[in-house]
Structure 1
Amino acid sequence: MGAKKWAAVTLLAAGTLAACAVPNQGTAMPAVTVTAPPDTIVIQPPAVAAPPQTVYVAPAVPVARTVIAFYDAINRRDFPTAWNLGGQRLAKGGTYASWANGYASTSWADVTVRSVSGNTVYVDLSARQTDGSLRTFSGSYTVSGGTITGANMKRLS
């Protein structure tokens, strides 16, 4: 089957795609649209250090949902969930504390799923740092059994 492509969409008007979500103990929860086509889900990242109003249009493909969920957890600072979704494998034997501390200077991350082929998810990633700079990456994640098992990412800027 050929690779399918999806992209991030920027909200043009308040409420265009996002639905309401109830915070859990002060933690921002993603809003999920109910108006997207039946084969997509849309998740809006929480407002961490004033990110742009970007939504993720994720294909209804479990491997892509795993990558989206990983970055959603990182944006919510829910590092235990991100660790379980693949951070443990990406840490390459490092400790949870060391891996989570690696995100200390990241305000938010915006991931765009470019395509999916089998268990490989091709993405573009922008990560806003606490100093205001933006780091961009492109590459792929390998997903197996609902967990990211590997990554091949290249920093572009």
Structure 2
Amino acid sequence: MGAKKWAMVTLAAAGTLAACAVPNQGTAMPAVAVAAPPNTIVIQPPAVAAPPQTVYVAPPATQTVYPAPSVPVAQTVIAFYDAINRRDFLTAWNLGGQRLAKGGTFASWSSGYTTTSWAAVTVRSVSGNTVYVDLSARQTDGSLRTFSGSYTVSGGMITAANMKRLS
């Protein structure tokens, strides 16, 4: 009777260690650690479960979520607000924030979102390269600002906005 060969696999993630003993059978697969994007919650699985899941922080659960339209110009506007909600202001800047800043700097434009907890955009319709939206922006003081209007998208970037504050 031959002796079984065992290997110890250790995976480091989010400052914790998980270890399990597995029989040394077949070809070993390398473990790859990937850093989670900012503003994510990493759920650590049990030692022998599937890899960690990433959960993005979203607006409160009481908000109705509608499926995103598959029209590319609408997707650009949705991606812009998704980046803002994730506090990834550089991505939002590159998706059109630089055009909306009207010559202002990245620092001054991004600091304009300091009092915004989250923003929810609803695409009402799309006509050509114009995306008509309703926007709700929850502020850090608990107040809600609402807007309605449109964004013009060209080449995967927001090039203009015509938004009116409603409340």
**Would the TM-score normalized by the shorter structure come out above 0.5?**
yes
Query: Shift of residue 118 of structure 1?
Result: 0.2
Query: Shift of residue 23 of structure 1?
Result: 7.9
Query: Shift of residue 54 of structure 1?
Result: 4.1
State the match for 1:124 in structure 2: 134
Query: Shift of residue 51 of structure 1?
Result: 6.3
| Equivalent residue letter for 2:57 | P
Are residue 62 (structure 1) and residue 72 (structure 2) matched?
yes
State the match for 1:72 in structure 2: 82
Which consecutive residues of structure 1, in runs of 5 or more, have no partner in the other structure?
1-21, 30-43
Once the two structures are superposed, the pairs formed by residues 1-157 of structure 1 within 5 Å of their partners are 24-28=36-40, 46-47=57-58, 50=60, 52-157=62-167
Report the count of equivalent residues.
Answer: 121
Which consecutive residues of structure 2, in runs of 5 or more, have no partner in the other structure?
1-33, 42-54
Q: Do 1:45 and 1:75's aligned partners in 2 also have CA atoms closer than 8 Å?
A: no
* TM norm structure 2: 0.67
Query: Shift of residue 62 of structure 1?
Result: 0.4
Q: Do 2:145 and 2:166's aligned partners in 1 also have CA atoms closer than 8 Å?
A: yes
Compute the RMSD of aligned alpha carbons.
2.3
Q: Distance in 2 between matches of 1:153 and 1:91?
A: 14
Q: Do 2:134 and 2:147's aligned partners in 1 also have CA atoms closer than 8 Å?
A: yes
Q: Distance in 2 between matches of 1:64 and 1:23?
A: 29
Which structure: larger Rg?
A: 2
* TM norm structure 1: 0.71
Comparing both chains, which one has the higher relative contact order based on Cα–Cα distances under 8 Å and sequence gaps of 6 or more? 1
Query: Shift of residue 25 of structure 1?
Result: 4.3
Q: Distance in 2 between matches of 1:23 and 1:85?
A: 23
Identity of paired residues, percent? 79
Distance change in 2, residues 1:61/1:104 (3 Å): same
| Equivalent residue letter for 1:97 | A
User: In the TM superposition, what whole-angstrom CA distance separates every residue of 1:23-45 from its partner, at most 9, and x where no partner exists?
Assistant: 8245238xxxxxxxxxxxxxx97
Q: Distance in 1 between matches of 2:66 and 2:110?
A: 23
